Structure 1
Amino acid sequence: MTRRVEVVRGGAVLLRLRDALAGGPAILPAAPGAEPLDPPAEVEQRVALIVETSGSTGRPKRVALSADALLANAAASTSALGGPGQWVLALPTHYIAGLNVLARSFAAGIDPVAVEGEHFTADGFTAAARRIVQPERLVALVPAQLATLLDDREALNELRRFQAVLVGGQSTPAALADRALDAGVRLVRSYGSSETSGGVVYDGRPVGGTAVRVEDGEVWLGGPSLAEGYLDDPGLTAERFVERDGKRWFRTADGGTWDGDRLTVTGRRDDVLISGGVKVALAAVERVLREQPGLHDAVVVAAPDERWGQVPVAYTVARLDDAGRAAAIAAVGEALGAPARPARLETLDALPALPSGKPDRRALTGLASREP
């Protein structure tokens, strides 16, 4: 059996997602003004939602999710966060993090309050927070949004009133997390992806029925929130969704360690460059830089180099003097070795970003390749 697919946008997503979870047409959320390329007319009956990945580091994919997977994720999140509440919707609804907010709101029977405006601002968040009518309040953010709110007194005062502030979408710098916690924000760091219906590991611990294992250094996730696979790509589905020991697992392509209780994610396994014959993990370079004063937004990409083959190049919006720049680069060398030291640490007026708020690494890689 199959069901029809509807392309939906903006404010219509909540209503159409509610219908899809109840057995109505499946939906493919799209960015405002965007037209998905060759949207499917029909999908298998089990598929309620199709999520197009951002393609920030790899080729874009269409992840097929069932109502059961989405609702299992919503139930696990609600339990882990201490019960239902009213959500502030601060993330785009064509990405899984924003769709999670809608699914949790639908499951709780409480409509979310959306941050208004074309771009996320502290004022927009503050206005949305003040429209909440429930005593229990929740919000999901990406790290850049969290940093924006911590810099604004009124927004921070509102943020302190939240039952939980879920932060994910990319690695949250420890310095930023510590700053939020010191300011009295109830921060919860989330790990997951579209293929797991969103976050399924909170502060290193799996939620709900999520299972974790690490195979040859790669993080695998299992449980009721797993996607059906990739739409019209059986080869990639077979590669990334595998059966082991009677369970179905998603191979994340992330490196990490699992001690049976807590998961530590170390970064993308394929996000490695070779500099002078030495492997350098860009995520590790980025992590060290983000621990330096003022560099919580640092993004590191690979650039070609005539002598070394490839070198790390870092970008930030922080205005550094020569001493601060040299100190940050030296800190990377001390922690990870000389080949990991960024060849350049450049300041931009604004980091290019995807609609989800994640850094546009492709754009930065192109910029790094063009610079001398």
Structure 2
Amino acid sequence: MLGHGEDSPHSAPGRPGGHPVTVDLRSSSPRAVWWLPVEESVPGAPRVVLADRAARGEFAALQAVLHQLGVPTVRLDAAHAAAPPACQDPPAYPDDGLPGRPDSLDLTISLDGGLVTMDGRCLRPSVVWARGPMPRAIPGTPGPAGSLIRADSWSALVDQLAAIAPASLPGRRLGRLAQLAGAAAAGVRTPRTIVTTDPGAAAAELPRGRLVVKVLDEHFVETAPGRMVGLLPEIADRETLVCRPSPGFPMIVQEYVEHDLELRVYYLAGDVHAFAVTKPSPDAPWRDPAGVSVRATPAPPRAVEVVRRLARDWGLVFGAFDLLLAAGEVVFLEVNADGDWRWFEAKAGTRAVTNAAALMVRTLHLNVLRATSPPPISGVLDFLLLGTEAL
């Protein structure tokens, strides 16, 4: 029951040694959703900017809570912002059952003053939170080079929009090898790990018993607009890996760590929220979500210490940490700076992370506005405003 950063289950499993899994992230959401105070009429006023794929859902829930707290926001659907302009032939989305896509977003950024104009509306970003991965497959441009340039340009824009904002999230996105090396250097236990194009040979160098195999980078790649295809982690025995042909690309092979508890821990600017996760296999959230048990739990003090230490070392404002507790010792697996949380909340019957994220963003926004004594993340007034009911 090893956690490896699985998020947003949608379909049947794919494994390094088996068939890939397909996730559909297409959406009919508007390209930009503005939530502003009724009396707001000042061009260029500070706004929180949220950018993600609308189909993921986290930012829609976050924007609603921020509106409840009186924070003005604009939420961009990163996929639709990059849709082809009206002068081009519209892309074909055969049999997807979704309405026609809107034109691409009209956008201008002035580095002299940090003003952003979106579809004729002017704002000054106070906080920018962009969640990856950004779209890498965008239709409507003749030739593969044009499509790639369009995708890369919008991805770069969203990633770099934070450069003109006083506050940005999530912070640095480190690869898995950098994470494991950094955690080990900080004195945190990590699984013994080998990166190799020959998992069978690597298996002989690791302790006997079960092994974990997973891809080195993101589990999913975008093969067509909105369609993500990926290979999920698997637990395999040594004999299976020895007999398996080389995949032809580098993969991670790790020792399987026997443990008492698996944790998904969310770090939000110093605040920590944890879920205990029980599942029969790493790909169970996709293959058998009903078989996965998730419950909110107080994070053990040592786990909180590890998460805060690593977040500080790595410059993270937000991160979803996957940890194990093994005989009282914390074992670090990985952290996802863009980790989903709504699925875990729904399974556990809570909205604690959504509320904490909203309070974190509001505090950052108020700090940018130079508000005096902004309320703490766990302020009583905030929880009165948000309510305490479950999802």
- TM-score, normalised by the number of residues in structure 2: 0.25
Please give the TM-score of this superposition, normalised by the length of structure 1: 0.26
Give the structure with higher Rg (CA).
Answer: 2
Structure having the higher strand fraction is 1
Greater relative contact order (Cα 8 A, min sep 6): structure 1 or 2? 2
